[in-house]
């Protein structure tokens, strides 16, 4: 065996010989729009121009009537739910595994998160399991397009129509994805996007709500702005329509968002090239299942979650071997171990200083192990690196490293 064939884990040469290409994703365009925001002389959304400009451009891009910029994706979920009429004690079906924002936005309204199994091919909530969880208290479903894989929106919309519940698309990991030619976020009653640093469009932190529903848009706008009816009433005459909050974005966030929107197509196209290569050049490896998007989906790939399907060697050993080769793979479909396994859910821990149970959760029972399929996925996921800045050489070395590890353990090459 040559030094090249030997695993780096065992002292061989690494497959990834140079750092991944990751230049600053922000540049002249962001600088220009930021300067314009500053030159406007008002950074508040209602005085500067940039928030309106972004919302208009994003609405045109995604083919929806309204875009409401917010301060994060988690907040966008909370706002969309409030605007779709979710109230205390209502149930909202979300996904067993994804960022905590996919249930914190629900809890913030004192609504009850209900967790649906992931589908092993799309990694998003399984529409059939979602339907089985619907009760007379269900008000909304958060259809999460996981890891850029666009879920079966026909199935979600059919469930929504049949049971009279709002379908809210969580597009946080799938900016620019399409379902049957239409952008995600323009199909459900509302869509939500996160623009934290890991996302296709990033403003560091930020988010937005999309909708074609005028009433939803109106409530969303009021909710993020303490229900101030700007321009409609005189100062001193605000009626304050319902209990709201301040989730207002500022114009600097909007300026960067506007620039990132212009970069989106290129970003998504490059991610697609990378992932298509993974499919072509890794698709034959044994014990490795690539995700399968439903017919009609045009994915906007994120790091690619593949399923490792062997007990021996354990996944942890495979991952350690890949990392030793210099590959930035990891095993988390979300930062936590799955929403049902968090203390917040399984112990219904709501407050920081006491374990007092809030009234709205008193009758809710969670079984930590009620989503076994999702737990199986969680235990077998390996996330392959996808970044629009990576060069062809980065991807070639990544693929070579994966094939080398597979060859060592399974004899293929
Ligand atoms: C699917 C999904 N929904 C919601 C969120 C929450 O977004 P934010 O971090 O902007 O609050 C995230 C963040 O990673 C996410 O991936």
Report whether pLDDT(168) > 70.
yes
Place of tokens 């709205």: 360
Q: What average pLDDT does the chain have?
A: 97
Q: How far apart are CA 332 and CA 98, in angstroms?
A: 9
Q: Calculate mean pLDDT across residues 382-404.
A: 98
3-state secondary structure of 77: helix
This prediction's pTM:
0.97
Q: Calculate mean pLDDT across residues 97-121.
A: 97
Report whether pLDDT(103) > 70.
yes
Q: How far apart are CA 133 and CA 104, in angstroms?
A: 19
Nearest CA to ligand 1 atom 7: 73
What is the pLDDT at residue 2? 72
**What's the DSSP call for residue 246?**
B
Q: Is the CB–ligand 1 distance for residue 203 below 6 Å?
A: no
Looking at per-residue confidence, does 236 or 126 come out higher? 126
Q: Calculate mean pLDDT across residues 21-47.
A: 97
Distance 73 CA to ligand 1 centre (A): 5
Q: Assign domain 8-23+264-333+374-410 one CATH number from 3.40.50.80, 3.40.50.150, 3.50.50.60, 3.90.1150.10.
A: 3.90.1150.10
What is the pLDDT at residue 156? 98
For CATH 3.40.640.10, the residue range(s) in the chain are 28-262
What is the pLDDT at residue 1? 66
Distance 199 CA to ligand 1 centre (A): 9
Q: Calculate mean pLDDT across residues 384-410.
A: 98
For CATH 3.90.1150.10, the residue range(s) in the chain are 8-23+264-333+374-410
pLDDT tens digit sequence for 210-238: 999 999 999 999 999 999 988 888 888 89
Residue from 102, 143, 146, 332 whose mutation best tests the ligand 1 pocket (most atoms within 8 A of CB): 102
What is the pLDDT at residue 349? 97
Integer CA distances (angstroms), 232 to 215, 227, 239, 248, 342, in order: 17, 12, 11, 18, 44
Q: Calculate mean pLDDT across residues 380-402.
A: 98
Report whether pLDDT(200) > 90.
yes
pLDDT tens digit sequence for 314-324: 999 999 999 99
Q: How far apart are CA 135 and CA 93, in angstroms?
A: 10
Question: CB neighbours (10 Å) of residue 227?
Answer: 17
Q: Calculate mean pLDDT across residues 119-148.
A: 98
Q: How far apart are CA 255 and CA 209, in angstroms?
A: 17
Q: Calculate mean pLDDT across residues 230-257.
A: 94
Q: Is the CB–ligand 1 distance for residue 74 below 6 Å?
A: yes
pLDDT tens digit sequence for 336-385: 889 999 999 999 999 999 999 999 999 999 999 999 999 999 999 999 99
Read off the pLDDT band of 86 (50, 70, 90): very high
What is the pLDDT at residue 4? 72
Report whether pLDDT(201) > 70.
yes
Percentages of the chain per state (helix, strand, coil), in multiples of 5: 40, 15, 45
Specify whether the CB–CB gap between 151 and 122 falls below 8 A.
yes
Report whether pLDDT(412) > 70.
no
Q: How far apart are CA 322 and CA 320, in angstroms?
A: 5
- % of residues, the chain, pLDDT over 70: 99
What is the pLDDT at residue 231? 84
Q: Is the CB–ligand 1 distance for residue 207 below 6 Å?
A: yes
Smallest CA-to-CA distance from 401 within 380, 384, 387 is with: 384
Architecture of domain 28-262: 3-Layer(aba) Sandwich (3.40)
Q: How far apart are CA 132 and CA 211, in angstroms?
A: 26
What is the pLDDT at residue 413? 54
Report whether pLDDT(190) > 60.
yes
Atom of ligand 1 nearest to the CA of 199: 14
Nearest CA to ligand 1 atom 12: 99
Smallest CA-to-CA distance from 95 within 136, 145, 152, 150 is with: 145
Atom of ligand 1 nearest to the CA of 196: 10
């Amino acid at each position: 065996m040559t030094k090249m064939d030997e695993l780096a884990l065992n002292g061989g040469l690494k497959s990834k010989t140079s750092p991944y290409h990751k230049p600053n994703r922000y540049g002249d365009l962001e600088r220009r729009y930021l300067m314009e925001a500053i030159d406007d002389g008002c950074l508040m959304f209602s005085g500067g121009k940039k928030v309106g400009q972004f919302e208009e451009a994003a609405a045109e891009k995604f083919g929806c009537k309204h875009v409401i910029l917010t301060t994060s994706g988690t907040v966008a979920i909370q706002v969309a739910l409030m605007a779709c009429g979710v109230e205390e004690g209502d149930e909202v079906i979300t996904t067993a595994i994804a960022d905590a924002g996919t249930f914190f936005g629900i809890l913030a309204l004192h609504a009850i998160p209900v967790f649906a199994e992931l589908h092993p091919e799309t990694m998003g909530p399984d529409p059939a399991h979602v339907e089985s969880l619907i009760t007379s208290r269900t008000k909304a479903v958060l259809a999460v397009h996981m890891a850029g894989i666009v879920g079966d929106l026909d199935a979600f919309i059919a469930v929504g129509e049949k049971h009279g519940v709002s379908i809210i698309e969580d597009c946080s990991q799938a900016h620019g994805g399409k379902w049957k030619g239409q952008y995600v976020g323009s199909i459900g009653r509302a869509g939500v996007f996160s623009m934290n640093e890991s996302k296709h469009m990033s403003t560091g932190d930020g988010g937005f709500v999309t909708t074609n529903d005028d009433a939803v848009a109106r409530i969303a706008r009021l909710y993020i702005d303490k229900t101030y009816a700007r321009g409609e009433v005189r100062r001193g005459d605000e009626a304050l329509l319902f209990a709201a909050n301040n989730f207002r974005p500022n114009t600097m966030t909007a300026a960067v968002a506007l620039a990132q929107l212009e970069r989106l197509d290129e970003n998504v196209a490059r991610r697609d090239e990378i992932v298509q290569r993974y499919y072509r050049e890794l698709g034959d490896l044994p014990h490795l299942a690539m995700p399968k998007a439903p017919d009609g989906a045009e994915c906007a790939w994120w790091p690619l979650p593949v399923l490792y399907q062997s007990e021996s060697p354990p996944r942890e050993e495979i991952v350690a071997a890949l990392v030793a080769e210099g590959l930035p793979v990891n095993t988390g479909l979300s930062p936590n171990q799955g929403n049902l396994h968090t203390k917040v859910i399984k112990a219904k821990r709501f407050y920081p200083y006491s374990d007092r149970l809030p009234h709205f959760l008193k009758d809710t029972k969670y079984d930590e192990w009620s989503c076994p399929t999702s737990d199986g996925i969680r235990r077998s996921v390996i996330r392959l690196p996808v970044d629009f800045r990576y060069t062809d050489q980065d991807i070639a070395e990544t693929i070579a490293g994966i094939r080398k590890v597979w060859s060592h353990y399974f004899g293929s090459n």
